[in-house]
Structure 1
Amino acid sequence: MSDIILHHYPTSPFAEKVRIALGIKGLAWKSVIIPIIMPKPDLMPLTGGYRKTPVMQIGADIYCDSQCILRELERRFPQPSLYTGTDAGTANALAFWHDRNLFMPAVGMAFGSRSMENLPAGFFEDRARMSGRPLDLERLRAARPLFIDQLRTQWVWFDQMLADGRAFLQGQHPTLVDCAVYNPCWFIRRNCGVVAPFSEFPRLLAWTERMEQIGHGQPTPLDSKDALAIARAASPQATPQIDVHEPLGRTPGVKLEISPDDTGKDPVVGELLSISTQEVVIRREDPLVGEVAVHFPRTGFVIKAPG
């Protein structure tokens, strides 16, 4: 089996979600550090234009979005499971809900209060292009009370989950739900410290420390050019698959354009290879990597004909 290669950068919250999952499973993986802003010249040949972080590569199969990445890790490496003590439906539904409702207030709170000195030149312009609207620090600082209100209400729920003495949010074992809740908490602690409203939830703080102790598995550095060579030397392992209940009649071979439905809406175009209720895979080619299969989750993405 080809190595797990994670294309990420250290301060990415969603990369931390995946890194913690790799730690839960105790996996060895290759770490490719990518630029925090565009351009990302050694990532685009793999993804075809998808610019968000992280991206996982296994040979010539490329997995975009943490939803897709963690489902694939669970499929390939089922033990220890990310669903221990819960079930796949509950865990994926809660994780997606957390991704959509915790991430933006956490990032807003961090950007509205932290020093911007360590961010690269052009960061805010890049994120403005990614979000499709201006990124105004003064507006973020003014909105900080709203972010705190939103986070505090939700942190009460997570703190209540831990009230019966369980070690993790779904029981005695860390799950996908813990990975999803942890990454925005990690981002706030990293950038703001233990500040209100975090400081009023000692059980939640203790849980973040248990999550941190899990670690990231066994990463080793890999140069981005070597990752491109690995893709070029491999063949995609994804095979044609039809969703027999596909309501829109999509079948392998048709051209599709896929993009996130929230931010970073850069489209990726390719030939449909496989489609299921949870995933869509397109085949595409690039001179630097040859043929690759690019995997996306269906939830949170727009799938349509090109143009």
Structure 2
Amino acid sequence: MTASSEPILHHYPSSPFSEKIRLALGFKQLAWKSVIVPSIAPKPDVVALTGGYRRTPFLQIGADIYCDTALICDVLEHVQPEPVLYPPALKGAVRVFAQWADSTLFWTAMAYNLQPRGAAELFANLPPAAAQAFGADRKAMSAGMQRLRPADATAAYRSYLRRIAHMVEEHEFLFGAEPCVADFAAYHPLWFTRQCVPVMADIFKATPAVLEWMDRIAAIGHGRMEKFSSQDAITVAANAEPLPLVDDVFQDEHGIALGSRVAIAAESFGLEPTEGVLVAATRTRYTVARTDPRAGLLHVHFPRIGYTLTTTETKAP
């Protein structure tokens, strides 16, 4: 693997979804470069690469930008096929479980984690203005989302922890003797409870098997990480060309032709769109080409699930 093809993860330490990918990189025993991004807007160096998308993390390989951890896991599986994130006999089951963990479990856990006691601990060492700015930023990113009330989240979180406990009482990991994508997806919201707001971690007392499983996951580590600056990452992109589109079978569900100008945005949370030219729409992902004054020509990739594709072209009268 050359320096320009080495994975670059754009993340920040307390980002739970970033922890999911840091562990996946460790599981794959990959060397990777670490770019720390701001936790709130503005994020000019992020937007230079993504074109608008500002959820954390995203993965860069040269001039290719991969958004959403579900897609990033697919990319890591391609970059380093062994050990497997998707066991052949369980591919469907672990993907469905991971999607549940990244959505239902995550938002339940965060509604529990960030009730007043947890939020006070998270921001205890920061000035009040920082907590207010974070709250305003996340409110803007989640406009229109339905949020669980703390009491409802607590009850649901307890139930989900019991279900996870039942699974890891039977096996070392969720689906057997080895970890897979389901483990990393279920782990990261629980990691936030335990590591970022430990005052809230008493919820684990009823499920010691979950804590033992979490210790096994944490022991995997984060692989071989090298610190890298956002400007250096932009320079890597500017000096590279996007990878050839191998899986280029066009699957048209929208009546939008390749070569059209489009916008891709998340269905919920972080709705900032990325605009560009649609260069691929396969079974599993969208790819847009866009040019940035600093980063040059980029291909920005999104999974189909969880994202919307719309045209930005105006029809002739």
* Corresponding residue of 1:75: 78
User: 3-state DSSP class of the match of 1:38?
Assistant: coil
Q: How does 1:124-273 map to 2 (within 5 A)?
A: 124-132=135-143, 143-164=149-170, 166-193=171-198, 195-239=201-245, 242-273=248-279
Decide whether the 8 Å contact of 1:241 with 1:273 is kept in 2: no
The structure-2 alpha-carbon separation of the partners of 1:171 and 1:128, relative to structure 1 and needing over 3 Å to count, comes to same
| 1:147-192 CA distance string (max 9 Å, x none) | 111111112211111222x110011111000000000110111133
Instruction: Say yes or no: does 1:50 pair with 2:80.
Output: no
Cα deviation per residue 1:106-130 (whole Å; 9 max; x = unaligned)? 1121111222224535111111111
Aligned residue number for residue 24 of structure 2: 21
Is 1:64–2:73 an aligned residue pair? Answer: no
SS in 1 for 2:187: helix
CA distance in 2, matches of 1:34, 1:126: 15
Q: Which stretch of the first structure deviates more once superposed, 248-257 or 62-71? A: 248-257
**Which has the larger displacement, 2-11 or 237-246?**
237-246
Q: Is 1:100 equivalent to 2:103 in the alignment?
A: yes
Q: Tell me the percent identity.
A: 39
Structure 1 match to 2:284: 278
Q: Which ranges in structure 2 are unaligned for 5 or more consecutive residues?
A: none
Partners of 2:250 and 2:280 within 8 A in 1: no
- Equivalent residues of 1:25, 1:79 under 8 A apart: yes
| Partner amino acid, structure 2, of 1:41 | P
2:124 to 102, 117, 124: 117
Is this contact kept in 2: 1:242–1:275, CA < 8 A?
Answer: yes
Q: Is the 8 A contact 1:130 1:263 kept in 2?
A: yes
Residue 145 of structure 1 and its aligned partner are, at CA, apart by 1.9
Counterpart of 1:12 (choices 10, 15, 39) is 15
2: distance between equivalents of 1:86 and 1:95? 16
Aligned AA (2:13)? P
SS at the partner of 2:66?
strand
Residue 110 of structure 2 aligns with an amino acid whose one-letter code is: V
Could you say which residue in structure 2 is the equivalent of 1:89? 92
TM-score normalised by structure 2 residue count:
0.90
By how many angstroms is 1:6 displaced? 0.2
Which one-letter code corresponds to 1:124 in the other structure? G
Which runs of no fewer than 5 residues in structure 1 stay unpaired?
A: none
Query: Quick one: which amino acid aligns to residue 156 of structure 1?
Result: R
Q: By how many angstroms is 1:94 displaced?
A: 1.2
RMSD: 2.0
For normalisation by structure 1, the TM-score amounts to: 0.92
**Within 2, Cα distance between the matches of 1:63 and 1:134?**
24
Specify the SS of the correspondent of 1:52: coil
- Distance, in Å, in 1 between the alignment partners of 2:251 and 2:38 is 40
Give, in angstroms, the shift of residue 196 of structure 1. 4.1
Higher mean displacement: 295-304 or 149-158: 149-158
- State whether residues 277 and 288 of structure 2, in contact with CA within 8 Å, keep that contact through their aligned partners in structure 1: yes
